[in-house]
Amino acid sequence: MASTAPPILPISNAQPAGAASATAVAGGEAPANNPAFRAFINNLSVSLRNGLDQRRPWSELTDRSAFSKPESFSEATLRVRKNFSYFRVNYYAVVSLILAVSLLTNPFSLILLIGLLASWTFLYLFRPADQPLVILGRTFSDFETLALLSAFTVFTIFLTSVGSVLVSALMLGVAVVCLHGAFRVPEDLFLDDQENSQATGFLSFLRGPAVAAAAAVPSVGARV
């Protein structure tokens, strides 16, 4: 007598589109693999390298023979303007170093700041517009996501030590730059470099990544 086995039903592991989107957004895989995010990072790294190529030799920055006390406040202001025009990239590097040291000596503030930047990057700026944000089974609209991120930003900057650390580091960096610029005597050979550097400042490296991000993520403007 032949035995009849019950038919084997096919098993599918496919997930609904909403669940797959929620998993991708919650796990962070979709934003990390986003072409817009990769293009932004690549353009930023290339622009940073190009900007750092404009830095002056550090030996010129620390040349002791070129330091003298300014005779008046107007002379000190003029020196700061000329030295900033020539040592722009070096000054930005000094301020960035002071900011980095301040954050490294305050690991709690550093963790909060990294979390804040990561939240804006992965949950809003580079999140695909067709993938809603889902947390604990609840779907958040773009307006709700923006409101939550804004509240988190206000809490992080004003109600924790992050704001005081950033402001203190920036004030210290600006003070160091102004002090160096006031006591560093500009030389005549700086003049041609100052005229040529007016159109191409170090902060121009932000234009490339900003344009690439705006072109690659057209939905960000529509969300706001």
Q: Quick one: pLDDT at residue 45?
A: 74
- Residue 172: pLDDT over 70: yes
Tell me which of 52-56, 117-121, 176-180 is least confident.
52-56
- Residue 84: pLDDT over 80: yes
- Residue 142: pLDDT over 80: yes
Between 98 and 32, the higher pLDDT residue: 98
**Both tokens assigned to 163:** 């704001």
Q: Quick one: pLDDT at residue 22?
A: 40
- Looking at every residue in the chain, the average pLDDT score rounds to 75
Q: Quick one: pLDDT at residue 165?
A: 94
Between 55 and 146, the higher pLDDT residue: 146
The mean pLDDT value for 69-89 works out to 92
Q: Cα–Cα distance between 76 and 185 in angstroms, integer?
A: 9
Q: What is this structure's pTM?
A: 0.65
The mean pLDDT value for 73-100 works out to 93
Q: What three-state secondary structure class fits 75?
A: helix
Q: Quick one: pLDDT at residue 8?
A: 56
- Residue 17: pLDDT over 80: no
Alpha helices in 121-223 (DSSP H): 142-158, 162-183, 190-197, 207-216, 219-223
Q: Quick one: pLDDT at residue 134?
A: 81
> CB neighbours of 223 closer than 8 A, spacing ≥ 6?
124, 129, 142, 146
Q: Quick one: pLDDT at residue 137?
A: 80
The mean pLDDT value for 191-216 works out to 49
- Residue 192: pLDDT over 60: no
Task: Return the closest-CA partner of residue 101 out of 175, 180, 168, 174.
Answer: 168
pLDDT-based confidence at residue 18 (cuts at 50, 70, 90):
very low
Helices 142-158 and 107-120, packing angle to 10 deg: 160
Q: Quick one: pLDDT at residue 111?
A: 94
- Residue 64: pLDDT over 80: yes
- Secondary structure of 35-65 in HEC code, one letter for each residue: HHHHHHHHHHHHHHHHHHCCCCCHHHHCCHH
| Cβ neighbours, 10 Å, residue 11 | 5
- Residue 207: pLDDT over 60: no
